[in-house]
Amino acid sequence: MRVVHTRAEVREWSRSQRISRRSIGLVPTMGSLHEGHISLVGLAREAADATILSIFVNPLQFAPSEDFDRYPRDLEADLEKSSAAGVDLVFAPSVAEMYPQGRPWAVIVPERGADVLCGRTRPGHFSGVLTVVSKLLSIATPDIAVFGLKDYQQLTLIRRMVVDLDHAVEIVPAPIVREPDGLALSSRNRYLSESDRRLAGRLSGALRECEYLFQEGERSASAFRDGMAAIDGEGVSLEYAEVVHPDTLEPLDEVERGTVCALAARVGSTRLIDNHALGNLFNRG
């Protein structure tokens, strides 16, 4: 496995893969790798001949009050996991390397889909996400790029950006990877205390109940929203519980197969998100 820190090195590597007629799979991450990230690498390796994993904590997607400085970083451990997973190239740039002119003048601002769900309380977040993803796609020129379904709103916006801006890449969604009790894997889970960790299971529990309701024939979106909202209180502070269209993220009155139930909550001081598309087997871990 090769490790590089500059855009020029990535472009040189990508050109060499093209000369050798090898397809490229990209896995963008912010590091602090866990089994969820490793599953993305597995999908990239299945779909492409060579895999690049980026490790970059992007300041553009953090508000001043958010945890940019606190976000977990452990490059040495990440490199070990990347090597074991079969990554061919790791791109681990500095902030100055990604934004050599300082905060960019030109950014991608989504016209739709960013003012709902997480976007309500994180203004500017998805502009930062789309800007850095667009840069990574331009630098690495991959054939495919893999993103997890856990960040459903992010995945939806990236898919639209790729279509709307004619990026020549296929976006591959990866299933949510969960702990045995159902908690979705996240780099932020390490912030949870032992007691918070037990409370965090309420999020996935609420989504399991949504799938049960759907299988029992319930179709009123309000029933699903009310069921998810019941986790609020006693150490869990609900931010939102929404039932949305899988492509447009618009709220729905009635559900059908594929409708997405999504929620966000703070458990202690840690913000967690999760979602489930109705009509699919709920993965407990």
User: Quick check: helix, strand or coil at residue 103?
Assistant: coil
User: Quick check: helix, strand or coil at residue 249?
Assistant: coil
Name the CA radius of gyration of the chain, rounded. 19
How far apart, in whole angstroms, are the C-alpha atoms of residue 205 and residue 94?
Answer: 39
How far apart, in whole angstroms, are the C-alpha atoms of residue 285 and residue 282?
Answer: 9
State the DSSP code for 187. G
Region label for 180, one of left (φ > 0), alpha (ψ between -120 and 50) or beta (otherwise): alpha
Structure tokens at 284: 């407990």
The number of beta carbons lying within 10 Å of the beta carbon of residue 96 is 9
What is the arrangement of strands in the sheet containing 50-55, beginning at the earlier edge strand? 2-4, 89-91, 50-55, 24-29, 144-148, 170-174
Q: Which positions are annotated as active-site residues? A: 37
